[in-house]
Amino acid sequence: MSKPIQITTKPGSSKEYKTGSWRTSRPVFKHDTCNDCRICVIVCPDSCVSGGDFKYDADLDFCKGCGICAHECPVDDIDMVLEVK
Amino acid sequence: MTESTKTKKQKPPVEESLLTCGHRACAGCGEALGAKLVMDAAGPNTIVATSTGCLEVFSTAFPQTAWRMPWIHSLFENSAAVAAGIEAALRNKGKHDINVIAQGGDGGTADIGLGCLSGLLERNQNVLYVCYDNEAYMNTGVQRSGLTPYNARTSTSPSGTESFGNQHQKKNLLGICAAHNIPYAATATVAYPQDLMMKVKKALKIPGAKFLQVHVPCPLGWIHKSELTIEVAKLAVSTGLFPIVEMQYNKVTRTRKIGKDRRPVEDYLKLQGRFKHLFTDTAKDELEKVRQIAQANIEYFGLE
Amino acid sequence: MKMMIEGSMGVAYMVMRCRPNVIAAYPITPQTHIVEDLSQFKADGELSGEFINVESEFGAASVVLGAQAAGARAYSATTSQGLLLMGEVLFNMAGMRLPVVITVANRAISAPISIWNDHSDAMVMRDSGWIMLFAEDNQEAADMHPQAYKIGENPEIMLPVMINMDGFILTHAVETVDIPSQKEVDEFLPPYKPEEYLNVENPLTFGNLAEPQWYMETRYKLQETQEDAKALIEKIADEYKGKFGRYHGGLIDTYRMDDAERVFVAMGSIIGTLKDVVDDLRARGEKVGILKIRSFRPFPKEKIREVCGHVKELLVLEKAISFGLGGVLQEELRSTFYGQKHQPKVLGFVLGLGGRDIPPKSLIKLYEVSKGKEISNEFVDLRPEVAPKGSLVTL
Amino acid sequence: MKEIRLHGRGGQGVVTAAEIIGQAAFADGMFALAFPSFGSERMGAPVQSFVKISDKPIRARNQIHEPDYLIVQDSTLISMIDVTSGLKSGGLVIVDSERKPEELGLKIDGRVLTIPATKIAMEIIGRPVQNTTLLGYFAAVTGLISFDGVKKAIEERFPGLIGQKNVQAAQKAFELAGEVVNV
């Protein structure tokens, strides 16, 4: 007899799958006018913005470039730029 | 900004979300955002049952998962009942301090899963049910659901010479749930993350069955730019088309007033391709009907 | 303790002895008495598990699925339309390797609506991945419950188990059932302690999406596990015998088969009637016996071949039909012997559908008139106005 | 093995009567199998139930087509359905009736006995539930089950005063049987 196939999966293992290649444009965090409000962190559907102390960045391994962070940034500290292919 | 003020406002590093990256939702997905906010508000001491749909498909492609909490998906229409079983098991084993959340999309909740949801609410089991309402069956390619708004175009309610899209009104899911006389039923939106997270935390502190309907734009199905997810969601609120309210024991206890911020429905509709057909000469009457729906919402809940 | 009780009550007692943490069920005839009795045990404070009233059988199955996934021992019971309504969840439970036990009070399927016994409901679920056991009498039905949990919960099996008992014929029959003490059952059946369950300390994901590169592997393993379960079903039946002194068979059971040339093959309560029939025929010098299929899934091909070495004909009696093919069990028997050196002739009869009574005289007649004939899918005891010309046994 | 078929109407306790016979036989140390005719019948509709009694375990699950004994809880059924269908030669039919057996018009190769069970039940229990009364009579005239067994089964089924009254009614019928049989 053999054990049933492992049909459960380990927490957070999706990080093995990089979604960054889906992106057509990327956010550039300018670290210029940042007011540490963390809206960029909160509104990211991909949970890929992190940081602290007025310095936030998107993890480009995962960022799909949706642009919500840039659009919602109240101090215009994030630019969206086209990926160069 | 001086260095000293910066130091004063410094925050601890961002903690990894309980719905982490590497999931395969579309760029700008409102549902992914909504679920992330709900999970992070609930915290790790939570077990989650999820119905079939985008949320499950984009987050759990074997052998990986984006969830960092105990999580189960069984079927399309049974997350409420699965959660009920989890709650009963925990109760029987004397584990009273673990949150149980059931969640599903609008189809899995308001249509095919309504029976199981009603059973859960009737039994008043200690479960929070969260419906991510993106107003159509997005997982299968944008077919209409019971929560698709009037006149929205979907692949099974297309506009044409004889139709302006979905000809049925959006089901009053909040009212249906509240009518079970549960201790807490509310709506929220990704437009207002703090409000949404506050409601999740508040609901989880109340014993018994709780219901939360979260408005989550779908850039793919609603046909809007991915960066506009929050903006579109805000307009749904400020036009009166998606009222933000709280109910306790079937009585409205709190609402988010629109007041001076009220915007015409066109501002909301124009950003979305699913309502494009309403901006023609022949659609004037239909546009007026949408205005009337917004007005009725505003009057019913006293949002002015 | 020996009690003169309804079959449903015997099952309810035994379910309680298995200490399920969560029971969820929806009423449907003829299953109802089982869950009514369990509800009463709960109301009287005897049952420590939770009893969840649900809005449908679909809800019942979903609740027990959730409970089992959360590490609880869960139970439900249903029949017929209710089983069909549970169907989607049943397949899901097997795929998720959740060792739930449900009792099915076998009943016909609508339309026309019939609340009476046959095996059509169970046969619909034969490909669900569940282990499916069939009980001959109420003692066996009761005894199957601790066995079922022990089989399903084995870490190398982890499959749900369906206990089939004939609706009304068993569920509503009052006869002697020996119910062991709680202590005895506790000694036989340890608490359910799964290696993986929904747990905040080890937050695993259950019920993933499997893309084409993974789905087949899960199905392969399910098939492999069904095969593995064969040895365990036998082992646990023996273990039960050792502990309680009662043995109803392992994968199969046999009756007077030692020198039998013609053998009845069947499942469920008809086995009892057949025993009287076989004694009668034996008294007349017929070399006849009975092969009782106790485990329909996994299907005990090897075991059947082993006991049929000398058998010339198998008379398969079944209370179900797969329309457009014929009797399910007879097809299984034919496939069991396909390509084998020894191939007994398989005759197939359909009988007892929708509660049609099966009197011994009909069985004796079909035994006699079927000699030397090639028969498959012969309906027994049809009304004469419907029976085709040449029918062997009509009402 | 002895086979008993009971006829009555939904609500008259025909199934309960079969179960009490079975339980009485069990109390007497015999094997028994009692089961209903599995109907979906509602109050007032004709119903049947069955009991098999033996000194060996009972295996056959078929319904009783050739009973040794028939208990008819409602004599109005006689004109409606063929209650005596299949009765074995020399079999016994017990009918709840205030009439004499020959007045019932049953043409059978066996014996017919009547007992005013409803009347007795009304007097003692105060309600027209005659099933337990008939069982006292059945025990007396057949000797198949003991009165003690019937008493025990009734008491288990109906604890308290209602059980006591049912036992009294059954006792009265049991004693009455002595007179009838002696006639």
* pLDDT at residue B4, as a whole number: 47
Residue B107 DSSP class: I
Task: Report the SS3 class of residue B298.
Answer: helix
Which residue in C has a C-alpha nearest to residue B73's C-alpha?
C207
Q: Do C209 and B82 count as a contact with CB atoms less than 8 A apart?
A: no
Structure tokens at A15: 């990080």
User: D2-9 and B245-248 as β-strands: parallel, antiparallel, unpaired?
Assistant: unpaired
Q: How many helices, marked H, and strands, marked E, lie in chain C?
A: 12, 16
Q: Kindly list the distances between the CA atom of residue B181 and the CA atoms of A48, B118, B172, B252, in Å, as whole numbers in the listed order.
A: 39, 11, 15, 12
Q: Do C204 and A7 count as a contact with CB atoms less than 8 A apart?
A: no
Q: From CA D37, how far away is CA D45, in angstroms rounded?
A: 12
Element (H, E) at C315: strand C313-318
- Asked if C63 and C22 count as a contact pair (C-beta separation under 8 A), the reply is yes
Residue environment code for C328-350, b if the CB has 16+ CB neighbours within 10 A, otherwise e: bbbbbbbebbeeeeeebbbbbbb
Report the DSSP beta bridge partners of residue B159. B164
User: C131-134 and C295-297 as β-strands: parallel, antiparallel, unpaired?
Assistant: antiparallel
Q: Do D61 and C174 count as a contact with CB atoms less than 8 A apart?
A: no
Between chain C and chain B, are at least 3 CB pairs below 8 A? yes
CATH number of C2-244: 3.40.50.970
Omega before residue D128 within 30° of 0, cis = no
Residue ranges making up the domain that contains D35: 2-179
Q: Do A45 and B69 count as a contact with CB atoms less than 8 A apart?
A: no
CATH number of A33-85: 3.30.70.20
Element (H, E) at C393: none
The domain limits of chain C are 2-244, 252-379
Banded pLDDT at A85 (limits 50, 70, 90): low
- Asked if D78 and D101 count as a contact pair (C-beta separation under 8 A), the reply is no
Instruction: Tell me, yes or no, if the two domains C2-244 and C252-379 fold the same way.
Output: yes
- Asked if C293 and C266 count as a contact pair (C-beta separation under 8 A), the reply is yes
Measure A84 CA to nearest chain B CA, in Å: 18
- Asked if B64 and A13 count as a contact pair (C-beta separation under 8 A), the reply is yes
- Asked if C283 and C171 count as a contact pair (C-beta separation under 8 A), the reply is no
Query: Is the CB of D23 inside 8 Å of chain C's CB atoms?
Result: yes
Nearest residue, CB atoms, B82 vs list C55, C56, C66: C66
pTM score above 0.90: yes
Omega before residue B44 within 30° of 0, cis = no
Mutate to test the interface with D, among C174, C255, C275 (most CBs of D within 10 A): C174
- Answer yes or no: is pLDDT of A10 > 50: yes
Show pLDDT as tens, one digit a residue, over chain C (395 residues). Answer: 999 999 999 999 999 999 999 999 999 999 999 999 999 999 999 999 999 999 999 999 999 999 999 999 999 999 999 999 999 999 999 999 999 999 999 999 999 999 999 999 999 999 999 999 999 999 999 999 999 999 999 999 999 999 999 999 999 999 999 999 999 999 999 999 999 999 999 999 999 999 999 999 999 999 999 999 999 999 999 999 999 999 999 999 999 999 999 999 999 999 999 999 999 999 999 999 999 999 999 999 999 999 999 999 999 999 999 999 999 999 999 999 999 999 999 999 999 999 999 999 999 999 999 999 999 999 999 999 999 999 999 99
Q: Do C173 and D33 count as a contact with CB atoms less than 8 A apart?
A: yes
Which residue in C has a C-alpha nearest to residue A10's C-alpha?
C204
Q: Taking the C-alpha atoms of B108, B109, B114 and B119 in order, what is their torsion angle to the nearest 10 degrees? A: 110
Q: Taking the C-alpha atoms of C54, C58, C63 and C65 in order, what is their torsion angle to the nearest 10 degrees? A: 160
Query: Is the CB of C52 inside 8 Å of chain B's CB atoms?
Result: yes
* pLDDT at residue D183, as a whole number: 37
Residue whose structure tokens are 């485990």: C295
Between chain A and chain D, are at least 3 CB pairs below 8 A? no
Between chain A and chain B, are at least 3 CB pairs below 8 A? yes
Which structural domains are found in chain B, ordered by start? Answer: 25-301 (3.40.50.970)
- CATH of the domain spanning C252-379, picked from 3.90.550.10, 2.40.50.320, 3.40.50.920, 3.40.50.150: 3.40.50.920
- Strand order in C313-318's β-sheet? C252-255, C288-293, C262-266, C313-318, C345-350, C378-379
Task: Please compute the mean of the pLDDT values over residues D84-102 and round it to a whole number.
Answer: 95
CATH number, residue D106: 3.40.920.10
Q: From CA B298, how far away is CA B304, in angstroms rounded?
A: 7
User: C378-379 and C313-318 as β-strands: parallel, antiparallel, unpaired?
Assistant: unpaired
- Residues (pLDDT < 50) of chain B are 1-4
ipTM: 0.94
- Asked if B40 and B197 count as a contact pair (C-beta separation under 8 A), the reply is yes
Chains near C with 3+ CB pairs less than 8 A apart are: A, B, D
Q: From CA A8, how far away is CA B180, in angstroms rounded?
A: 35
Residue environment code for B29-68, b if the CB has 16+ CB neighbours within 10 A, otherwise e: bbbbbbbbbbbbbbeeebbbbbbbbbbbbbbbbbbbbbbb
Nearest residue, CB atoms, B64 vs list A17, A49, A64: A17
Mutate to test the interface with B, among A8, A10, A14, A32 (most CBs of B within 10 A): A14
Banded pLDDT at D11 (limits 50, 70, 90): confident
Structural domain count of chain D: 1
Contacts of C208 in chain A (CB under 8 A): 7-9
